[in-house]
A and B are shown apart, each in its own frame.
Chain A
Amino acid sequence: MSRLLRIRSARIALTVLALIAFLALFGERIAPYDPLQQHPDVLAGPSLNYLMGTDYVGRDVFSRLLAGTRLSVIGALEAVTVGLLIGVPAGLASVWMGRVGEWIALRLTDTLMILPFTVFAIAVAGTLGNGLHQAMIAVGLLTSPAFFRISRAVALGLRSAQYVEAAELMGASRWWVLRRHIWSKVLPNVAVAGAQTMGSALLVVASLAFLGLGIIPPTPTWGGMLSADLGFLDRQPWAPLFPGLMLVLTVGSLNVLADCIREASSGRVQRRGLTRLTKPQPVLTPEPVLEKETR
């Protein structure tokens, strides 16, 4: 963490994300108006009364933007959590589960990787009902291969490390080895993937809301606001900028953070700060090895 905080862009990204997290927690409370309240001023421009104007039924856009942060972020978090919970344990276990189990896990992962996020989420929402949780479980399931492959790659490399073999020869259990030697090496890589996936998931949540899936009006979400604004572009051409900007800021910050975690974990950050080594270093420590080398 200290290495991460030495990178200026990481500090900026974390500040933005902290602000987004604050809005997710307290946005509705600090909003100047009830985000569902319909005022007489319809499609009003930005003013002192309505900082970002009002929407097509007279709701304060600024209040909806603040209140919409929670569901947008929660949806993405839900998807990432599902992906992590499925992908990481399966990825670690696949290294020790034998050839048949390994083969099945890899083919399942391959299958999930070819499914397109949005189409799959629409199909699941169509089957299980149109709700945020259903859609996010679907998205989470599709993000799990990323976590699976990353955690598996790290574990594969570490499994043949001498200190791991030594620990096993001395009678250490798999669980102990996993906890003591593997997990600490997997975690930074999973954090990188988590931050990147969070950004992607946020866009998927927004896309689904844009398509009218997942979150139903009048509940505010960034994607839903974008979608609704498009119908009134000729009257309020600036309106999509506000939710769009929130998405750009959040997804951009998550991507920058992911880069910085990768950088910090690879030890490329100089002590005093801002300079990075020019030659890229491998992310994984130690180097991942090919599967056939482990057998």
Chain B
Amino acid sequence: MPGTLPLSRRDLLRAGLGAGTLFALAACGSGSGSGPAAGGSGVITWAWQLPTSWDPITSSAGSDVQMLALAYDALTALDPSGKAIGWLAEKWEYNDEGTAVTFTLQPDLKFSDGTALNADAVARSLNRARTAKGSLVAPQLADVQEVTAEGELDVLITLTETNFQYPLLLAGKTGMVVNPGVFEKDASVLATTAAGSGPFTLTSYTENDHAELRKNPQFHLADEILVEEFRLYPAPDAATAVASAASGQYNVVRIGAANIDAAQAAGLEVQVLDSMFVAVLDVNTTKAPFDNPAVVQALKFGIDREKIRQVAKFGVGDVNYQPFPKGYVGYAEDLGEVYAYDPAKARQILADAGLSGGVKGTFSVTAPPHPATEQIQAQLKEIGIDLSIETIPGSEWTQIVYLEHAKALGYDGFAGRESPVQAFQVLFSETGLMNPARNRDPELDAQIAKVRATPVDDPSYPEVLQEATRIAVTNFPNVFLYNEPFIIARQKSVTELPQSPSLRRFEGISAG
């Protein structure tokens, strides 16, 4: 045909295949695209989670603390037993009444941009946390009267009432120190950039895609950070998590219990790390059918937690009826199996309340539904609570369930908090995010006041705290289900992570 290239269809096909192959090779070889590069020497590529915000005071998920701790330092930290230890602050001292505490900083601390991290910076950061509009940690600091810098290294926190919890409280997001030079200029940038003094500096962040962090030479334990880069990605789909680690796309991934065998078979190292995460049903007692206390009681006795642990969690984790894991100082041993599975009792409770014909309701879960939710639905149907599962996109969960309080029953998890009083605040106070009905119990409030007023090293502290746990578990509608450990699969090139129930720490961890 005149005017056309002398190409046969076969030639064209060859050319097309060649071009396609080149494209594919180019795509695989690119390390600068949005996809992750293979984990090389000194680089951790972790498919884990991205924070809701890089600003500690507006981050809305408890689990964000893990990611924020890559870029920020808190005043204190927790040891493996959950006790407060020094971090930015090398020591602290309360006055006799417990109404003022002075934190003494380590000398020569610096933010990642090289500016001084001194008492004045800490005071300004804490004052912002308690007063800034939209601060989600402000309720934790409600009893702070003022925060002042006393010289270069001492930060004095004056309280309106006795509260010995501050060394614990300031080990988490609440105590993360943000560079005042950044937030006083434009705080809005902190949603997507970090301005702290943590082990890494955030160098690049693409929302919902990935974050790149580089070792922060100003970090006070910089010598112990053995990796140069930390690339953070959202958790992969369960179906591809193991393959993505085995292929080198990531060198650490968070996996579910169902994938442990596959990860080991793929030659990955699997670590089951302690965690404070407890799965929980959030019950809104202002909405039917849970506005009837009998239904809530039946709910607590009608769930076979052990069966869920065996089936949905593949036997990993521990059944739990309270907000703290076994071994934690707030765990009340004598509560025992307070809501052990007893379907006959659950049915009897409903019958006694005149509900022998059963009740109907809606069970809200994040999409896609976790297998546990289908088990819970089936178990509750057996006792006469017939629930329809309704899925809510994960990105809308906090807004719909916790801010609008629009749902009657939700399946979620509580990531734990550094201070048990903070945990009580989130779960059981009138302003608590995970208290959808905004229930309040004067008995619990009084006991929490006692907890605050008891020094954490006082011999009576465990008993006072555990009494608060007993009151909360028996008086509040939350249905605690089981503790879930934090399971990771890592390539052998990444060294073992230390056990820690709160933060994942990377001091001494090498990769490659």
A169 CB to nearest B CB, Å: 49
A233: nearest chain-B partner, CB-CB: B239
Question: Do A216 and B390 touch (CB < 8 A)?
Answer: yes
**Interface hits, B238-297 → A, CB 8 Å:** 238-239, 242, 258-259, 261-262, 265
- Write out, one digit per residue, whether chain A residues 222-233 have a CB within 8 A of any chain B CB (1) or not (0): 000001101111
Interface residues on chain B, number (Cβ under 8 Å): 24
Which residues of B lie under 8 Å from residue A230 when comparing CB positions?
237-239
> Given A212-B368, A231-B239, A234-B261, does the pair A130, B390 have CB atoms closer than 8 Å?
yes
B31 surroundings in chain A (CB, below 8 A): none
> Closest approach, in angstroms, between the C-beta of B198 and any C-beta of chain A?
34
Q: Is residue A235 contacting chain B, with contact meaning CB distance below 8 A?
A: yes
Cβ contacts under 8 Å, B373 to chain A: 217
| Contact B391–A218 (Cβ < 8 Å) | no
Query: Does A118 interact with chain B (Cβ within 8 Å)?
Result: no
Contact flags B398-420 to A (C-beta < 8 A → 1, else 0): 00000000000000000000000
Are A216's CB and B388's CB within 8 A?
yes
The answer to whether B377 touches A218, judged by C-beta atoms less than 8 angstroms apart, is yes
Query: Are the CB atoms of A216 and B262 closer together than 8 Å?
Result: no
Q: How far is the CA of A233 from the CA of B238 in the complex (A)?
A: 9
A-B contact count (CB 8 A): 54
Interchain CA distance A38-B372 in the complex, whole Å: 12
Selected from B242, B261, B391, the residue in CB contact (under 8 A) with A212 is B391
Interface membership of chain A positions 43-67, coded 1 if the CB is closer than 8 angstroms to chain B and 0 otherwise: 0000000000000111000000000
Q: Is A5 located at the chain interface by the 8 A CB criterion? A: no
A212 adjacent to B367 (CB under 8 Å): yes
User: CA of A42 to CA of B238 in the docked complex: distance in angstroms?
Assistant: 18
- A205-246 contacts to B (CB < 8 Å): 212, 216-218, 227-228, 230-235
Contact between A42 and B311 (Cβ–Cβ < 8 Å)? yes
Please determine whether A58 and B311 come into contact, CB atoms closer than 8 angstroms. yes
Pick from B239, B258, B261, B374: contact of A57, CB below 8 A. Answer: B374
Tell me if A232 and B258 are in contact (CB < 8 A).
Answer: yes
Query: CB-CB contacts of A98-130 with B at 8 A, as 1s and 0s?
Result: 000000000000000000000000000000001
Find the residue from A36, A212, A234 having the highest chain B CB count within 10 A: A234
- Asked if B449 is at the interface (CB within 8 A of a chain A CB), the reply is no
Contact between A218 and B390 (Cβ–Cβ < 8 Å)?
A: no
Contacts of B237 in A (CB 8 A): 230-231
Evaluate contact between A56 and B371: CB separation under 8 angstroms. yes
Most B CB within 10 A of own CB, among A56, A57, A218:
A57
In the bound assembly, the distance between CA atoms of A117 and B42 in angstroms comes to 45
Residues of B within 8 A of A228 (CB): 368
A130: which B residues are within 8 A, CB to CB? 390-391
Task: Give A263 to B353 CA distance when docked, in angstroms.
Answer: 67
Q: Is B335 located at the chain interface by the 8 A CB criterion? A: no
Bound Cα distance A159, B390 (Å): 51
Distance in Å: Cβ of B376 to nearest Cβ of chain A = 10
Main secondary structure of the interface of B (DSSP, over half): helix
Write the nearest CB–CB distance from A207 to chain B, whole angstroms. Answer: 14
| Given the contacts A212-B369, A218-B378, A57 and B311 also touching, CB distance less than 8 Å | yes
* Residues 47-92 of A contacting B (Cβ, < 8 Å): 56-58
A68–chain B nearest beta-carbon distance, Å: 15
**Contact indicator A216/B258 (Cβ below 8 Å):** no
Q: Which of A38, A217, A232, A235 has the most CB of B within 10 A?
A: A217
- CB-nearest residue of chain A to B259: A234
Q: Which residues 126-177 in A have Cβ within 8 Å of B in the complex? A: 130
Q: Which residues from 101 to 144 on chain B have a C-beta closer than 8 Å to any C-beta of chain A?
A: none
Which B residues are in CB contact (< 8 Å) with A57? 311-312, 371, 374-375, 378
Task: Given the known inter-chain contacts A57-B312, A232-B258, please indicate yes or no for A216 contacting B389, CB distance below 8 A.
Answer: yes
B391 near A216: Cβ-Cβ < 8 Å: yes
- Distance in Å from the Cβ of A248 to the closest Cβ of chain B? 20
* CB pair A36 B378 closer than 8 Å: yes
Q: Which of B346-372 contact A (CB under 8 A)?
A: 367-369, 371
Contact A227 B368 (CB under 8 A): yes
Nearest-neighbor residue (CB-CB) of B375 within chain A? A57
Provide the residues of chain B in CB contact with A38, threshold 8 Å. Answer: 375, 378
- In Å, the complex CA distance between A241 and B391 comes to 26
Within 8 A of B (CB), among A225-280: 227-228, 230-235
CB-based nearest A residue for B377: A218
Q: Which residue of B lies closest to A219 (CB)?
A: B389
Residue of B nearest to A224 (CB): B368
A231 to chain B, nearest CB (A): 5
Chain B residues positioned under 8 Å from A217 (CB to CB): 369, 373-374, 389
Q: Which residues of A contact B262 (CB under 8 A)?
A: 234-235
Q: Which of B262, B368, B388, B391 has the most CB of A within 10 A?
A: B368
Partner of A231, one of B258, B311, B374, B388: B258
State in angstroms the CA–CA spacing of A216 and B362 once bound together. 12
Q: Which residues of A contact B391 (CB under 8 A)?
A: 130, 212, 216
CB nearest to A218 among chain B residues: B374
- B318 → chain A closest CB, angstroms: 19
Chain B residue, CB-CB nearest to A56: B371
Report Cα–Cα, A52/B495, bound state, in Å. Answer: 42
User: In the complex, which residue of chain A has the Cβ closest to the Cβ of B265?
Assistant: A234
A231 CB contacts on chain B under 8 angstroms: 237-239, 258
Check B242–A234 contact: CB distance below 8 A: yes
Nearest chain A CB to B489's CB is how many angstroms away?
A: 12
Which A residues are in CB contact (< 8 Å) with B378? 36, 38, 57, 218
List residues of chain B with CB within 8 A of the CB of A233: 239
Distance in angstroms from A109 CB to nearest chain B CB is: 32
- Kindly identify, within residues 284 to 333 of chain B, every residue whose CB is under 8 Å from any CB belonging to chain A: 311-312
Among B373, B378, B389: residue with most chain A CB under 10 A:
B378
In whole angstroms, how far apart are the Cα atoms of A100 and B498 in the complex? 74
A25 CB to nearest chain B CB (Å): 25
Within 8 Å CB of B367, what residues of A? 212
Q: In whole Å, how far is A36's beta carbon from the nearest beta carbon of chain B?
A: 7
Chain B residues with CB below 8 A from A36, complex form: 378
A216-B389, A227-B368 are known contacts; what are 18 more A-B pairs with Cβ within 8 Å? A36-B378, A56-B371, A57-B375, A57-B378, A58-B311, A212-B367, A212-B391, A216-B369, A216-B390, A216-B391, A217-B374, A218-B374, A234-B242, A234-B259, A234-B262, A234-B265, A235-B258, A235-B261
Shortest 5 CB-CB distances between A and B: which pairs?
Answer: A234-B262, A212-B367, A230-B239, A231-B238, A212-B368
List residues of chain B with CB under 8 Å of any chain A CB: 237-239, 242, 258-259, 261-262, 265, 311-312, 367-369, 371, 373-375, 377-378, 388-391
Q: A residues touching B (Cβ–Cβ < 8 Å)? A: 36, 38, 42, 56-58, 130, 212, 216-218, 227-228, 230-235
Can you list 9 residue pairs at the A/B interface with Cβ under 8 Å? Answer: A56-B371, A57-B311, A212-B368, A216-B369, A216-B388, A216-B390, A218-B377, A230-B237, A235-B262
